[in-house]
Chains A and B, each alone.
Chain A
Amino acid sequence: MATALLNPTEGAVTDKKKRYSAGVLKYRQMGYWDADYVPKDTDTICLFRITPQDGVDPIEAAAAVAGESSTATWTVVWTDRLSACDSYRAKAFRVEPVPNNPGQYFAWVAYDIILFEEGSIANMTASLIGNVFSFKPLRAARLEDIRIPIAYVKTFKGPPTGLIVERERLDKFGRPLLGATTKPKLGLSGRNYGRVIYEGLKGGLDFMKDDENINSQPFMHWRDRYLYVMDAVNKASAATGEVKGSYLNVTAATMEDIYERAEFAHELGSVIVMIDLVVGWSGIQSLSNWCRRHDMILHLHRAGHGTYTRQKNHGVSFRVMAKWLRLAGVDHMHAGTAVGKLEGDPPTVQGYYHCCRDSYTKQDFSRGLYFDQDWCDLKKVMPVASGGIHAGQMHQLLDLFGDDVVLQFGGGTIGHPAGIQAGAVANRVALEAMVKARNEGRDIANEGPDILRRAAQFCTPLRQALDTWGDITFNYTPTDTSDFTATPAVAG
Chain B
Amino acid sequence: MMTNPTGRLTQGQFSFLPDLTDAEIGLQVEYGLGRGYAWSVEYTDDPHPRNTYWEMFGMPMFDLKDAAGVLLELRSCRQTFPDHYIRLVAFDSTRGIESVAMSFIVQRPRREPGFSLSREEGPGRTLRYTIRGHEGDKPEGERYRE
Please tell me if the beta carbons of B100 and A168 are within 8 angstroms of each other in the complex: yes
Cα–Cα, bound, A202→B2 (Å): 11
Please tell me if the beta carbons of B14 and A441 are within 8 angstroms of each other in the complex: no
> Is B126's CB within 8 Å of the partner chain A?
yes
Please tell me if the beta carbons of A432 and B131 are within 8 angstroms of each other in the complex: no
> Is A164's CB within 8 Å of the partner chain B?
yes
Please tell me if the beta carbons of B127 and A231 are within 8 angstroms of each other in the complex: yes
Please tell me if the beta carbons of A234 and B129 are within 8 angstroms of each other in the complex: yes
Which of B2, B16, B28, B124 makes the CB contact (< 8 A) with A204?
A: B16
- What is the minimal beta-carbon distance from B74 to any residue of chain A, in angstroms? 17
Please tell me if the beta carbons of A174 and B13 are within 8 angstroms of each other in the complex: yes
Cα–Cα, bound, A128→B9 (Å): 51
Interfacial chain A residues near B52, Cβ < 8 Å: 168, 171
Please tell me if the beta carbons of B129 and A173 are within 8 angstroms of each other in the complex: no
> Is A488's CB within 8 Å of the partner chain B?
no
Contact flags (1/0) for A435-465 with B, using CB distance below 8 Å?
1100111000000000000010011010000
Question: Given A269-B129, A380-B96, A440-B24: A173 and B11 within 8 A (CB)?
Answer: no
Cα–Cα, bound, A243→B12 (Å): 11
Question: Given A173-B102, A174-B103, A436-B28: A234 and B117 within 8 A (CB)?
Answer: yes
Question: Given A167-B99, A168-B99, A436-B28: A243 and B18 within 8 A (CB)?
Answer: no
Which of A173, A203, A239, A433 makes the CB contact (< 8 A) with B103?
A: A173
> Is A354's CB within 8 Å of the partner chain B?
no
Interfacial chain B residues near A175, Cβ < 8 Å: 13
Please tell me if the beta carbons of B17 and A174 are within 8 angstroms of each other in the complex: no
Cα–Cα, bound, A230→B102 (Å): 28
Q: Binding site of A, secondary structure by majority: helix, strand, loop or mixed? A: helix
Please tell me if the beta carbons of A241 and B114 are within 8 angstroms of each other in the complex: yes
Closest to A421 in B: B5
Please tell me if the beta carbons of A243 and B50 are within 8 angstroms of each other in the complex: yes
Please tell me if the beta carbons of A202 and B126 are within 8 angstroms of each other in the complex: no
Q: How large is the interface on A (under 10, 10 to 19, 20 to 34, 35 or more residues)?
A: 35 or more
Identify which of residues 64-85 in chain B touch chain A, using a CB-to-CB cut-off of 8 Å: none
- What is the minimal beta-carbon distance from B91 to any residue of chain A, in angstroms? 10
Interfacial chain A residues near B96, Cβ < 8 Å: 164, 359, 377, 380
> Is A466's CB within 8 Å of the partner chain B?
no
Cα–Cα, bound, A174→B92 (Å): 11
Please tell me if the beta carbons of A425 and B16 are within 8 angstroms of each other in the complex: yes
> Is B93's CB within 8 Å of the partner chain A?
no
Closest to A429 in B: B16
Cα–Cα, bound, A173→B48 (Å): 17
- What is the minimal beta-carbon distance from B137 to any residue of chain A, in angstroms? 16
Please tell me if the beta carbons of A240 and B99 are within 8 angstroms of each other in the complex: no
Contact flags (1/0) for B12-37 with A, using CB distance below 8 Å?
01111110100010011001000000
Interfacial chain A residues near B2, Cβ < 8 Å: 239-241
> Is A242's CB within 8 Å of the partner chain B?
yes
> Is A267's CB within 8 Å of the partner chain B?
yes
- What is the minimal beta-carbon distance from B4 to any residue of chain A, in angstroms? 5
> Is A472's CB within 8 Å of the partner chain B?
no
Closest to B127 in A: A231
Please tell me if the beta carbons of B95 and A359 are within 8 angstroms of each other in the complex: yes
Identify which of residues 28-57 in chain A touch chain B, using a CB-to-CB cut-off of 8 Å: none
Interfacial chain B residues near A168, Cβ < 8 Å: 52, 99-100
- What is the minimal beta-carbon distance from A431 to any residue of chain B, in angstroms? 8
> Is B146's CB within 8 Å of the partner chain A?
no
Contact flags (1/0) for A257-268 with B, using CB distance below 8 Å?
000000000011
Closest to B5 in A: A425
Closest to B98 in A: A164
Contact flags (1/0) for A218-242 with B, using CB distance below 8 Å?
0000010001001100110111111
> Is B57's CB within 8 Å of the partner chain A?
no
Please tell me if the beta carbons of A429 and B17 are within 8 angstroms of each other in the complex: yes
Interfacial chain A residues near B16, Cβ < 8 Å: 204, 425, 428-429, 432, 459
Interface centre among A223, A240, A242 (most CB of B within 10 A): A240
Please tell me if the beta carbons of B27 and A439 are within 8 angstroms of each other in the complex: yes
Question: Given A238-B117, A239-B3, A241-B49: A171 and B126 within 8 A (CB)?
Answer: no
List chain A positions with a Cβ less than 8 A from chain B.
Answer: 164, 167-168, 171, 173-175, 202-204, 223, 227, 230-231, 234-235, 237-243, 267-269, 359, 377, 380, 421-422, 424-425, 428-429, 432-433, 435-436, 439-441, 455, 458-459, 461
> What would 12 A/B residue contacts be, using CB atoms closer than 8 Å?
A171-B49, A173-B13, A173-B99, A173-B102, A174-B13, A204-B6, A223-B124, A243-B49, A268-B126, A268-B127, A269-B128, A436-B20
The 3 closest A-B pairs by CB, nearest first: A174-B102, A238-B117, A439-B31
